[in-house]
Amino acid sequence: MLIRKRIEPPSSEITPEAEYLNRREFLGMVGSIGALSATGAVAEGLMGGFSTVEAQQGDKVTDESKVTSYNNYYEFGTDKEDPKANSQQFKARPWSVKIEGLCRKPGSMPLDSFLSPSRIEDRTYRFRCVEAWSAVIPWRGIPLADVIRRADPLPSAKYVELTTLYDPSQMSGQRRATIQWPYTEGLRIDEALNPLAFLATGMYGKTLPNQNGAPLRLVVPWKYGFKNIKAIVKLKFTDQQPTSTWMKAASDEYGFYANVNPAVDHPRWSQARERRLGEVLRKPTLMFNGYSEQVASMYGGMDLRRNY
Amino acid sequence: MTATAPRATRVRPRGPRIARAMKPLVFAVLLAPAIWLAYALFADQLDGDVVKILEISTGTLALRSLAYTLAISPLKQLTGWTWLNMYRRMLGLFVFFYATAHMLIYFGLDLELQFGEIWTSILKRPYITIGMLSWLILVPLAITSPNFMARKLGGPRWKRLHQLTYVVAVTATTHYLWAVKKDTFWPLVYFALFAALLLVRAYGWYGLHRRAANAAV
């Protein structure tokens, strides 16, 4: 009834490079329209544009209600329904972000000053959780590279470590020692400077809901979801590879890179395929979540089986 | 019926009669989650990772039914309500029903009947291996659940076979513990619950043996 044989997409359906370049131009254009106006019509335009350029992969934007009611955010509880249920009282404003470590412009600043030099953009990305569920989400925010450049890192800075707010009075999940608090994540500087790396302050044309990481979260679409750290309060430049929260929790299951890779299984399940939120049948997972053209060169010569 | 009708001479306890009358209701209550899940699946009411929700729900329902099943004997000892026995087979079959649904959803919808993947998962992933083992143990218990099967086997043999339920309590909870990512709270709750239910029995057996030993002296 629901089960039928999966049909492999023929190679003719893989986006040719010229078209892919067009797509980036197109998305950039749509993004700038989005920056000028925040009306629903524009959001619709973005989705329409998205479906025409991405139709080859059968991608369509996931229902907003699914993305806002089913996710992992251990700060508000470990069940998928907990973030929405337990984050409604969370105060995402006022908010300040601290920049520290190996850079010329450290300091703490209110979120608005942190964001304001950059142009707000809309980006629709695939999102792939390490647990093999996935979504397509229209984000709104600024390129992470802008923030990195403004901080002016020293040549010795090789990594950037990001930290989530620690406030058990507001984040009830932090009252239990499920994982080590506060949550931290890290990127190599070149990864942080990659044009795809994004800091989201909104999604679906609206302000980011508390349960999805308000007021500021990372979006690195070629990596598994847990790299996309939420409620960011700190960026720190380091010369040593940071140890992320999930590496501390289970280093045999979660590595520093956590690049989406259908060929490297999680010890407890296959990563070859994924299931879109709300859908029953799975689809193949793409290398680097379909962003190979933009990111694969950063990992040339690396054994991705060891650097999972 | 008139007021002069003679009252029953044997005093029949009310417990069993009510228990028998309530049986369809208990059955409906236990089946209701399955009907809701089936409805929610087809009415697109499962927000999120649809198949994962089905897996977690049916798995939890199987464990919960198992806890009810194992609670009957201690509860009977505690209260003297022997009519609780009337529910035991039904509860046990619900364990099998939800465990089977759980397994079929995993193989059929999660792995989409890709036999290579099914095979790998059973051989390579310990939590699947032990889950599969738990289901396999349940099969002979379900088959021998009708009265005529129990008669065919003979009381003591039937009883010994059905003591495998205790093994399933351990293997199924281990399956749950190994399946969760990080938060082991609920698997440990089930472990504690089953440990308590088994300890009560162990204590009962110990008492019986001691009495028997004393009587023999």
**Residue B181 touches partner A, C-beta closer than 8 Å:** yes
What are φ and ψ of residue B117, in 5° steps?
Answer: -65, -40
Nearest Cα of chain B lies from the Cα of A74 at a distance, in angstroms, of 9
The CA distance from B97 to B204, in Å, is 30
Determine the distance in angstroms separating the CA of A278 from the nearest CA of chain B, rounded to an integer.
5
Structure tokens at A220: 């690195």
Closest CA to A222 of A255, A172, A258, A247: A258
Q: Which residues of chain A have pLDDT under 50?
A: 1-26, 28-56
pLDDT digits (tens, 9 = 90+) for A158-194: 999 999 999 999 999 999 999 999 999 999 999 999 9
pLDDT score for B9: 56
pLDDT tens-digit readout, A63-80: 999 999 999 999 999 999
Domains in chain A: boundaries: 15-60, 62-299
The one-letter code for the residue type at B84 is L
Predicted confidence band at B212 (pLDDT cuts at 50, 70, 90)?
confident
Q: How confident is the model at residue B102 (pLDDT cuts 50, 70, 90)?
A: very high
Does B48 sit within 8 Å of A80, measured CB to CB?
yes
How near does any CA of chain B get to the CA of A271, in Å? 11
Per-residue confidence (pLDDT) for residue A12, from 0 to 100: 42
CB environment B160-179: b (16+ within 10 A), e (fewer):
ebbeebeebbebbbbbbbbb
Question: In the numeric block, which tokens belong to residue A253?
Answer: 């299951």
**Which of the four pLDDT bands, split at 50, 70 and 90, describes residue B144?**
very high
What is the model's pLDDT at position A41? 35
- Using 50, 70 and 90 to split pLDDT, how confident is the model at B7? low
Residue type, A60: K
R_g (Cα) of chain B, nearest Å: 21
Q: Which of B48, B51, B179 sits opposite A280 (nearest CB)?
A: B51
Count other Cβ atoms within 10 Å, centred on residue B118.
18
pLDDT at B143 over 60: yes
Q: Measure the CA–CA gap between A68 and A38, rounded to whole angstroms.
A: 20
| Nearest CB to B125 within list A249, A268, A275 | A268
* Domain A62-299 superfamily per CATH: Oxidoreductase, molybdopterin-binding domain (3.90.420.10)
Average pLDDT over residues B157-182: 94
For residue B11, name the pLDDT band (cuts at 50, 70, 90).
Answer: low
CA angle A185, A188, A191 (to 5 degrees): 100
On chain A, the residues whose CB falls within 8 A of the CB of B50 are 275, 277-280
Q: Which of B116, B6, B110 is nearest to B58 (CA)?
A: B110
Tell me, yes or no, if B188 comes closer than 8 A to chain A by beta carbon: no
Of B59, B29, B32, which is closest to residue B135 (Cα–Cα)? B59
Q: CA quadruple A16, A21, A23, A26: dihedral positive or negative?
A: negative
Cβ contact (<8 Å) for B112 and A6? yes
Confidence at residue B216, expressed as pLDDT on a 0 to 100 scale? 63
User: Cβ of A306: how many Cβ atoms within 10 Å?
Assistant: 9
pLDDT at A93: 94
- Any CB–CB contact under 8 A between B183 and chain A? yes
Please, what is the average pLDDT of chain B? 90
- Residue B77: its pLDDT value, please? 86
Query: Rounded to whole angstroms, how far apart are CA atoms A124 and A259?
Result: 19
For residue B162, the model assigns a pLDDT of: 95
Can you spell out the DSSP letters for chain A?
----PPPPPPGGGSPPHHHHHHHHHHHHHHHHHHHH---HHHHHHHHHHHHHHHGGGT--PPPHHHHTTS---GGG-SSTTHHHHH-TT----S-EEEEEESBSS-EEEEHHHHHTTSPPEEEEEEEE-TTSEEEEEEEEEEEHHHHHHHH-B-TT--EEEEEE---TTT-GGGGS-SSPSSPEEEEEHHHHHSTT-EEEEEETTEEPPGGGTTT-EEE-TTB-GGGS--SEEEEEEESS----HHHHH-TTT--SS-B--TTS-BTTB--SEEEETT-SS-EEPPGGGGTHHHHGGGGTT--TTT--
Q: Which positions in chain B touch A74 (Cβ < 8 Å)?
A: 182-183
Q: Are residues A144 and A218 in contact, defined by beta-carbon separation less than 8 angstroms? A: yes
